């Protein structure tokens, strides 16, 4: 049964008047207001907000509460539920996932973040999946795929007597389609690509993202089996199986190949690993099907054509007088389960198959954010056994209470339709509304709105500089650190500026040892503790846990391997690692004290010789001149249209800076690598190659001239593409905490 809501356009329907006087007032940070205005508030044709944050929360609460009417609630009872839901969000105790905040009560109406689509071994299935993914991305969701059923590269194609191109080649088609779709105007597409460890193309898959310009809309993970891990442990061989025939293609040295996976992850953070047998041991509905894939950040394993809606409790709000307030936490858990179950009924699903399967299993994913802030309030170090105990205690409580809340809903509304034959079909659990109730998701943007730390990640920075629109730089200090340091008498503006430069307080004099233990940041924490905290939460989570295992730049592949084994032994369902500085462009870097000598560029000679190349761009024909002196290329300049325009001035500035770099001894390949892949809104094709901006055109002209083998730069950047601030690598996703930009759905 699903609630049918009258379809009226936002333009024709004025928003319902919010009863502000009877509801809790909002207390939002400046950052939260910026993110809400930029990404969540309803806007008019001019892009101007036409609702306030209060209006947004009431719009969401009122819409989600309407599901109660399906189960006999009166209009007054629905109104009361809406007030409770509003309070959950207004008090920042709980936030639903971004699609719910964006779309509830609006025409689009798609409220889920996570989807998994099947990909079978046929052209029809592959391109049907691409079409379905485009529809989901347009509606604001992210998609996960297992490509393990596709026959390997060079395998036989019976219909054409040709050879197959393999799963990796088809992934590029998915990636291109994703690039074309901008999700609902507010969220960009994201995918998870998974391949089983026993697929014949697994070696090509593991290295398919060594070039950061490839598959930029994909996270990739290897589905590792217990039998493979056993073969690694025993230093045995492992068979690769053709999925089309079921025949063994060859055997590989398991330990040697495991080292290749580890090395690739050490090198640039991908692939991740999911422990697929561990996931399926906890599959709540094995009679319905086997789980093959997860959503883009790995925290939500799903069956084909299944979706899940997520939400997170703000743990920093669950501390009262230095203790965890379990009475308040229980109330929030029960209301949040009610909220998320209602989402399933009022959701507008992008595909009928997804609606059918979602309603049949009614999976919800209640998680947490603000865990690091909770520990600070309790005076407990993140990297400690006490922190580990708190993680287990809090999550076991949420797990138990969410099951009790789901059972209570089932008594009133009925069990989920696939209950019979599920893991819940026992005398001890005669009622269960939802096949799963808990998930730990990355909470990049919703944690900004809630004003707390992200997910179960440690605090990333205690002090940092944020750029505002007029170019002014503001020094921001973590509120709990400022409160603590003022109380203890060691706060100063000079100290916070020093912390912002260093990124950590561990080596700064004048700070008490107690503060250094409590206020650890991500890079202060040994990777083992990252894994142990993830495992502590995973023990009491139905689905999976999104968490980044941070490594210093000095970490070795052997360090990464130890983390993988620890995650497997402790029962994690997957692991994502990130070694500081391992991408071509650092995602969020800590300043280094090292200094480099300044150089004086050699003078431009009186006479140069060179060529001019004509490049097609979205702005028109660009003529790039490359000149040499006796030492090599010494200058580049480009011309387009008439002098004096804005575009012309930018092109001239680019040429001057390139020329300056060349005469200062910078390698041409390094310049090409920096410029290639920079995008503008108007890409263009030339001789089968896409030119994505004028800067890209200049780089490709240099590449043609020098026969360079440099490839396009990846999209991972140290700066947010929207606002220019630094971005964080959070749970396998890139998030800007200044404006709310997120690479992942």
**Any idea where the domains of the chain sit in the sequence?**
114-294, 609-706
Task: Classify burial at 649, counting beta carbons within 10 Å of its beta carbon; exposed 0-12, middle 13-18, buried 19 or more.
Answer: exposed
Place of tokens 């005398």: 427
What is the rounded CA–CA span in Å between residue 304 and residue 543? 15
What is the rounded CA–CA span in Å between residue 534 and residue 567? 8
Q: Please give the DSSP secondary-structure letter assigned to residue 603.
A: P
What is the rounded CA–CA span in Å between residue 263 and residue 558? 9
**Local structure of 739: helix, strand or coil:** coil
Q: What angle do CA 392, 400, 447 make, to 5 degrees?
A: 65
**Local structure of 419: helix, strand or coil:** helix
pLDDT at 730: 74
Helices (H) and strands (E) in the chain, counts: 23, 29
| C-alpha distances in Å from residue 211, one per residue of 184, 308, 586, 711, 715 | 29, 32, 15, 8, 11
pLDDT at 17: 58
Tell me the average pLDDT of the chain.
88
Just list the catalytic residues.
Answer: 295, 297, 299
pTM of the predicted model over 0.85: no
Class assignment of domain 114-294? alpha beta
529-544 residue pLDDT tens: 999 999 999 999 999 9
| C-alpha distances in Å from residue 31, one per residue of 60, 109, 395, 445, 462 | 21, 26, 28, 10, 15
Positions in the chain short of pLDDT 50: 1-15, 183-185, 469, 584-595, 712-717
* Bridge partners, residue 521, by sequence: 459
pLDDT at 398: 98
- Side-chain half-sphere exposure of 293, counting CA atoms within 13 A: 28
Both structure tokens of 227: 């039998």
479 CB-near residues (< 8 Å, 6+ apart): none
218 CB-near residues (< 8 Å, 6+ apart): 171, 174, 175, 190, 191, 192, 193, 209
What is the rounded CA–CA span in Å between residue 297 and residue 294? 8
pLDDT at 278: 98
Both structure tokens of 249: 């293609």
What is the rounded CA–CA span in Å between residue 124 and residue 597? 59
For the chain, the straight-line distance linking the first and the last C-alpha, in angstroms and rounded, comes to 28
Place of tokens 């998994």: 116
pLDDT at 23: 85
468 CB-near residues (< 8 Å, 6+ apart): 474
What is the rounded CA–CA span in Å between residue 542 and residue 503? 35
């Amino acid at each position: 049964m699903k609630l049918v809501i009258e379809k009226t356009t936002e333009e024709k329907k004025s928003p319902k008047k919010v009863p502000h006087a009877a509801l809790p007032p909002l207390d939002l940070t400046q950052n939260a207001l910026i993110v809400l205005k930029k990404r969540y508030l309803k806007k008019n044709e001019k892009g101007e907000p036409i609702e306030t944050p209060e209006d947004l929360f009431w719009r969401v609460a009122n819409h989600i509460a309407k599901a109660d009417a399906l189960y006999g609630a009166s209009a007054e009872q629905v109104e009361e539920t809406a007030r409770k839901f509003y309070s959950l969000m207004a008090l920042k105790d709980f936030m639903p996932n971004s699609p719910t905040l964006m779309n509830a009560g609006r025409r689009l109406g798609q409220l889920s973040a996570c989807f998994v689509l099947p990909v079978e071994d046929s052209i029809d299935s592959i391109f049907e999946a691409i079409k379905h993914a485009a529809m989901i991305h347009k509606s604001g969701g992210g998609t996960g795929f297992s490509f393990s059923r596709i026959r390997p590269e060079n395998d036989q194609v019976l219909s054409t007597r040709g050879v197959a191109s393999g799963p990796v080649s088809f992934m590029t088609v998915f990636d291109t389609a994703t690039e074309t779709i901008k999700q609902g105007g507010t969220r960009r597409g994201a995918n998870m690509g998974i391949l089983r460890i026993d697929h014949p193309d697994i070696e090509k898959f593991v290295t398919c993202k060594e070039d950061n310009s490839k598959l930029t809309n994909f996270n990739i993970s290897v589905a590792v089996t217990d039998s493979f891990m056993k073969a690694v442990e025993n230093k045995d061989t492992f068979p690769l199986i053709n999925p089309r025939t079921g025949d063994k293609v060859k055997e590989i040295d398991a330990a040697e190949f495991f080292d290749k996976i580890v090395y690739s992850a050490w090198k640039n953070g991908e692939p991740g690993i999911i422990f697929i047998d561990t996931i399926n041991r906890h599959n709540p509905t094995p009679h319905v099907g086997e789980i093959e894939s997860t959503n883009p950040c790995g925290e939500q394993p799903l069956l084909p054509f299944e979706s899940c809606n997520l939400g997170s409790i703000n743990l920093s709000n669950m501390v009262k007088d230095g203790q965890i307030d379990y009475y308040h936490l229980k109330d929030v858990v029960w209301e949040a389960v009610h909220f998320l179950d209602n989402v399933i009924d009022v959701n507008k699903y992008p595909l009928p198959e997804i609606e059918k399967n979602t309603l049949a299993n009614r999976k919800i994913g209640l998680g947490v954010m603000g865990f690091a802030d909770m520990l600070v309030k309790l005076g407990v170090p993140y990297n400690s056994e006490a922190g580990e105990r708190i993680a287990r205690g809090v999550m076991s409580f949420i797990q138990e209470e969410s099951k009790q809340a789901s059972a209570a809903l089932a008594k009133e509304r009925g069990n989920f339709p696939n209950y019979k034959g599920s893991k819940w079909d026992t005398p001890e659990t005669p009622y269960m509304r939802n096949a799963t109730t808990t998930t730990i998701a990355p909470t990049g943007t919703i944690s900004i709105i809630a004003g707390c730390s992200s997910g179960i990640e440690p605090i990333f920075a205690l002090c940092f500089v944020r750029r505002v629109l007029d170019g002014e730089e503001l020094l921001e200090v973590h509120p709990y650190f400022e409160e603590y340091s003022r109380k203890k008498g060691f706060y100063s503006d000079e100290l916070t500026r020093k912390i912002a430069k260093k990124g950590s307080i561990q080596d700064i004099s004048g700070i008490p040892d107690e503060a250094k233990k409590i206020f650890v940041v991500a890079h202060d924490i040994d990777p083992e503790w990252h894994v142990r905290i993830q495992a502590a939460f995973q023990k009491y989570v139905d689905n999976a846990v999104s968490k980044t295992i941070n490594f210093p730049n000095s970490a070795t592949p052997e360090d990464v391997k130890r983390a993988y084994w620890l995650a497997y032994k402790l029962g994690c369902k997957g692991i994502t690692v990130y070694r500081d500085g391992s991408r071509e462009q650092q995602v969020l870097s800590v300043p280094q004290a090292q200094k480099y000598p300044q150089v004086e560029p050699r003078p431009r000679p009186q006479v140069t010789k060179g060529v001019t190349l004509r490049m097609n761009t979205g702005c028109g024909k660009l003529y790039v001149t490359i000149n040499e002196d006796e030492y090599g290329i010494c200058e580049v300049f480009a011309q387009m249209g008439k002098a004096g325009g804005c575009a012309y001035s930018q092109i001239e500035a680019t040429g001057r800076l390139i020329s300056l770099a060349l005469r200062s001894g910078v390698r041409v390949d390094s310049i090409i690598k920096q410029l290639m892949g920079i995008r503008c809104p108007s890409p263009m094709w030339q001789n089968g190659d896409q030119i994505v901006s004028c800067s890209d055109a200049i780089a490709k002209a240099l590449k043609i001239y020098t026969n360079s083998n440099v490839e396009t730069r990846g999209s991972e950047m140290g700066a947010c593409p929207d606002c220019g601030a630094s971005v964080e690598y959070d749970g396998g996703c890139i998030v800007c905490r200044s404006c709310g930009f997120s690479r992942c759905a």
